[in-house]
Structure 1
Amino acid sequence: MLSQSLSLLKTTRQNFLSLLNEFSLEQLNYIPKGFSNNLIWNFGHLIVTQQLLFYKLSGNKMYISDELVNKYRKGTKPETDANQDEVDELKKLAFDLIDKFEKDYSENKTMFDSFTEYPTSYNYTLRNIEDAIHFNNTHEGVHYGYALALRKALK
C-alpha cells in the first residue's frame, strides 16, 4: 500500500514539475487577478506540508529549513518572489524528500508511531502516519488542480 501511495505522490509531483517547466521565473511568481497565490507558492506549499504532516506530527526533525516552512506553510501567501536558486531547491526537494521518507519508513517505521492527531481544514482528522500519507495525496491533488487553473490564467 505504501508503494502505491508514494507512486501516486511521485506522479503528482512529476506532473506539477512539468507544469512549472512551462513558465519563466517571472511567471512562476506572478499572481493573476482573482488568485491569492502563484505557481511556485503552491509547489513550495506541497513540499512543506508533506514534511509537516509526516515528520512534525510524528515528533521528528524535518528535512527542510524553518525559512521554507515559514514561507510556504498553510495560512501564508507569497510576500516575496522566489529566486531561481529557491525554485531549483524546491524542484530538488520535491523528489529527494519522498525518497528520504520512503527510506525512513521502511527502515524505521516506529519513528512515526508517535503521532499528534490533527484535524485538517478538509474536515478529515489525521490520527496516524498512514492517515497522513493518504491525506497528503488528496492535498497534493487539490493544489495541482489549483495550479492548472493558474496555468490557464497565465496563458
Structure 2
Amino acid sequence: MEATLKIWKTNRKIISDLIENYNIEQLNLTPAGFSNNLVWNLGHIVVAQQSLIYRGCGLEANIPVELMELYKPGTKPSGQTTEQQVSVLKDLLLSVIPQTEADFAAGKFERYNERTTGTGFNLATVADAFEFNNYHEGMHLGMMLNIRKFL
C-alpha cells in the first residue's frame, strides 16, 4: 500500500503544479473537441477519490456535497468556475491526502462495498479502490495534458 499512496501523492503534486500555470479563463476553457476543461478535471479527480474510497466504505466524504454533484461521473462543466471555487478545489486536491492516510492507518476503511466501475474494473477491496483511483487520476491527468495544448 505504501507504493500506491506514494504514486497518489506524486500524481496529485503534478496536477497541482499543472493547474498553477493557468489563469481562470484558461482553466474554464473547454477546447473544441473536448467535453470538459482543466478545472472540471480537477474537481472530478477530488470527487472521484472521495467516492471510491470513502463512499465505497460506507463513510461520508470529506468534501462538500455540492462538489460531489458538480463533478461526479457523467457531469460536464456547467458554467464558469470562480477563482474562489478553484482555490477550494486546489486546496482539497492536497488537503485530503493526510486525512485519507490517517483514516487508513486508523482502520476506517475495513469494509468495502464491492462494485464494478463504469469502465469494467471490479473493486472488491479498498486496496482495489486505491489502485483504481491511481489509474483514474492518471487518465484524467493525461486529458489535462492534452487540453493544455489548446490553451
Of 134, 146, 150, 1:149 maps to 146
Map 1:6-155 → 2, pairs under 5 A: 6-107=5-106, 109=107, 111-154=108-151
Deviation at 1:118, TM superposition (A): 1.7
Q: Is the 8 A contact 2:103 2:109 kept in 1?
A: no
Q: Deviations over 1:26-72 (max 9, x none)?
A: 11001000000000000110000000000001011111111000000
Residue identity in the other structure for 1:100: Q
2:31 match: secondary structure:
coil
Q: Is the 8 A contact 2:8 2:134 kept in 1?
A: yes
Q: Is the 8 A contact 2:19 2:38 kept in 1?
A: yes
Q: Is the 8 A contact 2:44 2:73 kept in 1?
A: yes
Unmatched segments (≥5 aa) in structure 1: none
TM-score by structure 2 length? Answer: 0.96
Deviation at 1:7, TM superposition (A): 1.3
Deviation at 1:14, TM superposition (A): 1.0
Q: Deviations over 1:85-132 (max 9, x none)?
A: 11111111111111101001102x1x2222111211221111110000
Structure 1 runs, 4 residues or longer, greater than 3 Å off = none
Tell me how far apart the structure 1 counterparts of residues 39 and 56 of structure 2 sit (CA, whole Å).
Answer: 25
Tell me how far apart the structure 2 counterparts of residues 114 and 14 of structure 1 sit (CA, whole Å).
Answer: 29
Tell me how far apart the structure 2 counterparts of residues 122 and 6 of structure 1 sit (CA, whole Å).
Answer: 22
Residue identity in the other structure for 1:138: Y
Residue identity in the other structure for 1:29: N
Residue identity in the other structure for 1:153: F
2:97 match: secondary structure:
helix
Deviation at 1:148, TM superposition (A): 0.4
RMSD: 0.9
How many residues are paired up? 151
